Structure 1
Amino acid sequence: MDTATAPSAAPPAPRGVIRRLQSRQGREDPFPLFEEIRSAGPVVSHGPHALLVTGYTECLQILTDRIWQVPDHKWRAARGLDTDGLSAKVLITLPRLNPPLHGRMRRLQSGPFTPAALERIRPTVRTLVRIHLDQLDAELTRYGQADFVGKVARALPVAVMCEILGLPSEDRALVARYSLDTAALTEPFATPAQTVVADAAAAEFHTYVMALLDERARTPGTDLMSQWLTHERLGTERVPRDELAAHIVFLVGAGAETTSSLFATAVQAFEQYPGQARWLAAHSEALPQAIEELTRWDPSVQNAVRVPTRETTVAGTHVPAGTLVHALIAAANRDPAHFPDPHTLDFRRPPRRSLAFGAGIHYCLGAPLARLNAAEFLPELLRRFPTLHTDGPATRTPGLNLRTFLTLPVSRRPRPVLTH
């Protein structure tokens, strides 16, 4: 091979960068660390068998080229990473399925996310937005401060998912807890303590959904779970009820946690960029591009993991087949080679595709619902709470994949004007 064109080995990642990303400071603002990784090279090694990728072009290649697959059960089992526990079954959902099973299950689950289905649910979303903002208003009036995550950011998308799927409204608090506690199952660097909690929550959530499916099988309704039960056979493939329950667990968690992150991020963004918030409040026609910019600037999902099925190269770097590669979506979304002035939030930024909802066959199934939720929620938030601001630091769980908020204290007292 010509040495001038031979693929090179990846340089090492900055020392301790994953540990620093999961520190309190790293969770609050990971972007300087992503830039530190970028400065080391477009592709860097994390240990002997994993790579970190920060460039937009390279991440898009990894997410769309069919030689790249998700590390599914077969890949994980060969490396002793999957267990025989119930959480392993819950994890065999869309993000960890490859073709052809991925396509069949995606078609089964696409029903609630079609344009027609979303327009039917829009009035319900609008009503739920009003109810949850009323509750936030009451909390702020009574106490002067509220936890935005508990009252709105997580509660609202959980309520929407419960309505879509047909989960009982009286169980929303329970479902919200399950959603939060199972989030660590998606994290490649979860701590043992997080994994224990997540495994237990996954088992409880799966049992809860199975009981509901059994009930709907006996007494069908018009809800989505009842409809899905009539399609336990999809083409020539049988979809067992326990697998259907696992996919419902996944849909709730994925829909709730990502939208929760988007809502909480919006509060922080409006506070950090008050001029952008005022401009958006006065230009409702710009809402779709503002949602895209928010998700580019600080995406809810910050990392996607893939493995190549054969030897390949990325940015001139040799990648052996089966190598675990982290496509750092949040870093790609701030790649200065693709987005001018990438660290600035600008709702008037000319439209340019980001990777906030992924790309390729694993493009986020719920992206249209997330956009609908944001389109109904953000204008009302700006209209009803123009002086809302954070009233203390946010708390987050350690993680590289999801920007999971635990709490975000807020107040609507006007901030003091500082004079110098």
Structure 2
Amino acid sequence: MDTAIAPSAAPLAPRGIIRRLQSRKGREDPFSLFEEIRSAGPVVSLGPHALLVTGYTECLQILTDRIWHVPDSTWRAARGLTTEGLRATILDTLPRLNPPRHGQMRRMQSGPFTPAALERLRPTVRTLVRTHLDRLEAELNEHGRADFIDTVARALPVAVMCKILGLPAEDRALIARYSLETAVLTEPFADPAQTAAADAAAAEFHAYVMALLDQRARTPAADLMSQCLSHGHSSTERVPREELAAHIVFLAGAGVETTSSLVATAVQVFENHPDQALWLAAHPESVHQAIEELTRWDPSVQNAVRVPAQDTTLAGTPVPAGTLVHALLAAANRDPAHFPDPHTLDFRRPPQRSLAFGAGTHYCLGAPLARLNAAELLPELLRRFPGLRTAGPATRAPGLNLRTFVTLPVTLPVTRPQPVVAL
């Protein structure tokens, strides 16, 4: 890729927009800020060598046109952004690999996410849903309130990923902590302190997975770790065990945080849009349609970073090769040129292709699993807890890429006894 990049001809992004997006207010509701960016144009300049893109057509082009690459180790090295040792291994996982290596590693990890494999997993997910909703009920009965993230939203996908990957069930709390703490590694605007803390957690997680891979090498099991080890030994290009461990770390974190955000967002939506909750409760067979609308309206992943391998254009704006471009997927999903009345949440909206799980080569590997988890959980949540309400504001982790929840307190309204009317 070229290393000399001309200044962008795009209009300037609104002043301080990244800082405002990462503020507490911006994390809670970034959509008004996305509209502020859109008002300046579908492609705007963020400094001399980076762009923000809000248009649906342009974001889809970025995700699907083969000239667009992820900023991998080669791109980083050309700009003096090299990483070494374990951090380099951990960073070079699926989101930061380009073809052909991306395809090789994706195929190795795709087995548990095929339609047939997920259908076999469905009874396990259904059982885990009941188990975690029982836990939520117990917490609410004992304390009057509960943290929905700790009891359900993060705990459920952790349990499912432990089953898929072969991580010990007794370590679920540890996996949940690692998942939350390493999420910052996906953030392009993390500060040094956040990055250092995430690096430390990732190193711990990596060492933990390495020890499990050593066990699987001696005693294989019916899980993804064993499959990866087998593939790595039989492949024409041997995959180092350190690299396998890095991919397990990525899958565990990505598989948990995207689903956690999706179902936690659903709880807020059910409270703030009771008409939608009532409609879905009455039409549970339409849960898949509702999930598509929910992920369009407030996706778990808001931003995808790409660079063009050659000079190109976006919405008539010249984009030199190597320019860092932020495709704001959450903004694209509310582009009025593609979605009528885009800021309205409507579970009855006819399905349209959103970018909630990306598109093209890097389409989210775990998207079908996230949909399965949500499809099994949401109707049961509405049936068992129709009056569930938040008991205070959610706490979100800082960042632009992921809509990561840290806590979401919930409660049930107190049922007041009805007065006895004399006949």
TM superposition score category, shorter chain reference:
over 0.9
Q: Which has the larger displacement, 234-243 or 46-55? A: 234-243
How many aligned residue pairs are there?
410
* Equivalent in the alignment of 1:273: 273
Secondary structure at 1:304 match in 2: strand
Post-superposition Cα deviations, 1:171-207, rounded to whole Å, max 9, x if no partner, equal 0000111111100000000111110110001100000
Alpha-carbon distance between aligned partners in 2 of 1:339 and 1:414, rounded to the nearest angstrom: 40
Aligned residue type for 1:224 = L
* Equivalent in the alignment of 1:362: 362
1:126 CA displacement: 0.6
Alpha-carbon distance between aligned partners in 2 of 1:128 and 1:82, rounded to the nearest angstrom: 42
1:385 CA displacement: 0.5
Query: What pairs up with 1:254-403 in 2 under 5 angstroms?
Result: 254-403=254-403
Do the aligned residues in 2 keep the contact of 1:332 with 1:355 (CA within 8 Å)? yes
1:186 paired with 2:186, answer yes
Structure 1: any 5+ residue segments left out of the alignment?
1-7
* Equivalent in the alignment of 1:27: 27
Do the aligned residues in 1 keep the contact of 2:17 with 2:33 (CA within 8 Å)? yes
Do the aligned residues in 1 keep the contact of 2:310 with 2:321 (CA within 8 Å)? yes
Do the aligned residues in 1 keep the contact of 2:109 with 2:224 (CA within 8 Å)? no
Aligned residue type for 1:51 = L
Identical amino acids, percent of aligned pairs: 81
Do the aligned residues in 1 keep the contact of 2:276 with 2:346 (CA within 8 Å)? yes
Alpha-carbon distance between aligned partners in 2 of 1:292 and 1:160, rounded to the nearest angstrom: 21
Post-superposition Cα deviations, 1:208-232, rounded to whole Å, max 9, x if no partner, equal 0000000111122222212221111
* Equivalent in the alignment of 1:226: 226
Do the aligned residues in 2 keep the contact of 1:302 with 1:403 (CA within 8 Å)? yes
Aligned residue type for 2:336 = P
1:415 CA displacement: 9.9
Do the aligned residues in 1 keep the contact of 2:330 with 2:356 (CA within 8 Å)? yes
Alpha-carbon distance between aligned partners in 1 of 2:332 and 2:214, rounded to the nearest angstrom: 44
Q: Which has the larger displacement, 87-96 or 311-320? A: 87-96
Q: Which has the larger displacement, 289-298 or 228-237? A: 228-237
Q: Which has the larger displacement, 55-64 or 278-287? A: 278-287
Post-superposition Cα deviations, 1:21-59, rounded to whole Å, max 9, x if no partner, equal 000000000000000000011100001110000000000
Secondary structure at 2:158 match in 1: helix
Do the aligned residues in 2 keep the contact of 1:104 with 1:234 (CA within 8 Å)? no
Length-normalised TM-score, structure 2 = 0.95
Query: What pairs up with 1:194-205 in 2 under 5 angstroms?
Result: 194-205=194-205
Post-superposition Cα deviations, 1:316-368, rounded to whole Å, max 9, x if no partner, equal 00101000000000000000111111111100001110000000000000011
Secondary structure at 1:90 match in 2: helix
Alpha-carbon distance between aligned partners in 1 of 2:152 and 2:123, rounded to the nearest angstrom: 18
1:75 CA displacement: 0.6
Alpha-carbon distance between aligned partners in 2 of 1:12 and 1:315, rounded to the nearest angstrom: 15
Post-superposition Cα deviations, 1:131-186, rounded to whole Å, max 9, x if no partner, equal 11111100011111111111111111011000111100000000111111100000
The two structures, once aligned, show a CA RMSD in angstroms of 1.4
* Equivalent in the alignment of 2:145: 145
Secondary structure at 1:299 match in 2: coil
Do the aligned residues in 1 keep the contact of 2:20 with 2:26 (CA within 8 Å)? yes
Show structure 1 runs of 4+ deviating over 6 A.
Answer: none
Alpha-carbon distance between aligned partners in 1 of 2:312 and 2:349, rounded to the nearest angstrom: 35
1:285 CA displacement: 1.9
* Equivalent in the alignment of 1:4: none
1:127 CA displacement: 0.7
Alpha-carbon distance between aligned partners in 2 of 1:323 and 1:411, rounded to the nearest angstrom: 47
* Equivalent in the alignment of 2:421: none
Secondary structure at 2:307 match in 1: strand
Query: What pairs up with 1:59-70 in 2 under 5 angstroms?
Result: 59-70=59-70
Alpha-carbon distance between aligned partners in 2 of 1:387 and 1:73, rounded to the nearest angstrom: 49
1:80 paired with 2:101, answer no
* Equivalent in the alignment of 1:164: 164
Length-normalised TM-score, structure 1 = 0.96
Aligned residue type for 2:219 = T
Alpha-carbon distance between aligned partners in 2 of 1:127 and 1:213, rounded to the nearest angstrom: 27
Secondary structure at 2:289 match in 1: helix
Alpha-carbon distance between aligned partners in 1 of 2:357 and 2:117, rounded to the nearest angstrom: 20
1:239 CA displacement: 1.1
* Equivalent in the alignment of 1:109: 109
Aligned residue type for 1:189 = F
Do the aligned residues in 2 keep the contact of 1:387 with 1:414 (CA within 8 Å)? no
Alpha-carbon distance between aligned partners in 1 of 2:415 and 2:306, rounded to the nearest angstrom: 45
Secondary structure at 1:406 match in 2: strand
Alpha-carbon distance between aligned partners in 2 of 1:49 and 1:308, rounded to the nearest angstrom: 12
The 3 A distance-change label for structure 1 pair 254 and 234 is: farther
1:234 CA displacement: 5.7
1:88 CA displacement: 2.1
Secondary structure at 1:129 match in 2: helix
Secondary structure at 1:318 match in 2: strand
The 3 A distance-change label for structure 1 pair 276 and 42 is: same
Do the aligned residues in 2 keep the contact of 1:209 with 1:245 (CA within 8 Å)? yes
Aligned residue type for 1:344 = T
Aligned residue type for 1:145 = R
1:90 paired with 2:90, answer yes
Aligned residue type for 1:69 = H
